[in-house]
Amino acid sequence: MIETHNLRFRYSPQTPEWTFPDVQCAAGERLLLLGASGSGKTTLLHLMSGLLKPASGQIRLANTDWSTLSGAAADRFRGRHVGIVFQRPHFVQSLTVAENLGLPLFLAGLAPDPARVRELLEALGIGDKAGARPRDLSVGEQQRAGIARALVHRPSVVFADEPTSALDDRSTEAVVSLLEHHSAQVGASLLIVTHDNRLRDRYPRHLSLSPLTSDSPLS
């Protein structure tokens, strides 16, 4: 689960302060965060995943207040509880696809789980790519491998940052379905951050971000 309260942030004293609407998403639930470019979608995502620190306000993730964590402890906590699907999935190019999927487990200090890695790759239809280099995968395959990597360590919250912006309608449908299905399977909250209006209709719950506004009501 993830919830934020009165979140404010500014990159530097010279830049204007962002004010974000409160976010609430329980375990197993999903939430769409809609906003145009520059509305602070990615900033909010980074705040919630602990990559940025807010100027004020509270973020609770898996019943823990981010502000109580710092340094290596915060890194470890993020490793255990957060999974992120990036817009363009980057990988550690010197490692194979399977090794890239093993990375979140290693980095979070969890035991290696080759069976889980294989099972996820199979479930996402790229089981035959386990030994391949990430750069040898097609864009669609990379996107699926990125989803697998975000889920392999059974995180509490999965953040997806514009997961569909580069995809056509059919692929969008498939990717979102996979995300929903596998997040539900591990009981994670799923937050999709996007400006893609195709997703709006799928989601009964969505939160609209507008630049530098302080109050956007839940719709």
Partner 1 sequence: MSWIRIAWRNLLAKPLSTGLSTILLAFGVGLVSLLMLTERQLDQAFRRNIEDIDLVLGAKGSPLQLILANVYHIDAPTGNIRLSDARQVMTHPYIEKAIPLAYGDNFQRYRIVGTEPSYPAHYGMQLAEGRLWEAPFEATIGAQVARESGLKVGDTFFSAHGLVDETDVHGDLAFTVVGIFEEGQCVVDQLLLCNIESIWGVHEKPETEPAESSPPADEEQAPTEAPTEAPTETSSDTPAPSPRAGAMRIGPGGVVMGTVGPQTGGKDPDGDREITAVLLKKRNPLAVLTIPNLLKETNMQVALPAIEVNRLTQNFGIGMGTLRAIAWLIIALSFASIFISVYDSLLARRYELALMRSMGASRGGIYRSLLWEGGLLSVMGAALGLIMSRLGLWVMAQLVADAFHYNLAGMELMWGEVYLACGAIFVGLIAAAIPGISAIRLDISRTLSDG
Q: How far is the CB of 58 from partner 1 (least distance, A)?
A: 19
Closest to partner 1 by CB, 14 vs 204, is: 14
- Alpha-carbon gap, residue 32 to 108, rounded angstroms: 27
Closest to partner 1 by CB, 75 vs 119, is: 75
Number of residues that bind partner 1 (CB under 8 A): 34
Q: How far is the CB of 204 from partner 1 (least distance, A)?
A: 29
- x/- map, 50-69, partner 1, by CB under 8 A: -xx-----------------
Closest to partner 1 by CB, 94 vs 197, is: 94
Cα–Cα separations (whole angstroms), residue 210 to 6, 25, 78, 120, 162: 15, 20, 27, 36, 16
Closest to partner 1 by CB, 112 vs 200, is: 112
Q: How far is the CB of 96 from partner 1 (least distance, A)?
A: 9
- x/- map, 109-138, partner 1, by CB under 8 A: x--x--------------------------
Burial class (CB in 10 A: 0-12, 13-18, 19+), 142: buried
φ, ψ for residue 104, nearest 5 deg = -60, -35
Which residue in the set 55, 62, 107, 174 belongs to the binding site for partner 1 (CB under 8 A)?
Answer: 107
Task: Name the strand (E) or helix (H) holding 35.
Answer: strand 30-35
Residue 11: partners with Cβ closer than 8 Å, 6 or more residues away: none
Question: Which of 201, 216, 185, 166 has its CA nearest to residue 32?
Answer: 201
**Token pair for residue 121?**
């790759």
Question: Which of 194, 191, 127, 124 has its CA nearest to residue 159?
Answer: 191
| Contact call for residues 9 and 39 (beta carbons, < 8 A) | no
Which residue in the set 35, 91, 126, 157 belongs to the binding site for partner 1 (CB under 8 A)?
Answer: 91
Closest to partner 1 by CB, 57 vs 174, is: 57
Which residue in the set 14, 15, 63, 94 belongs to the binding site for partner 1 (CB under 8 A)?
Answer: 94
Binding site for partner 1 (CB under 8 A): 42-43, 46, 49, 51-52, 71-72, 75-76, 78-80, 82, 84, 86, 88, 90-95, 99, 102-109, 112, 149
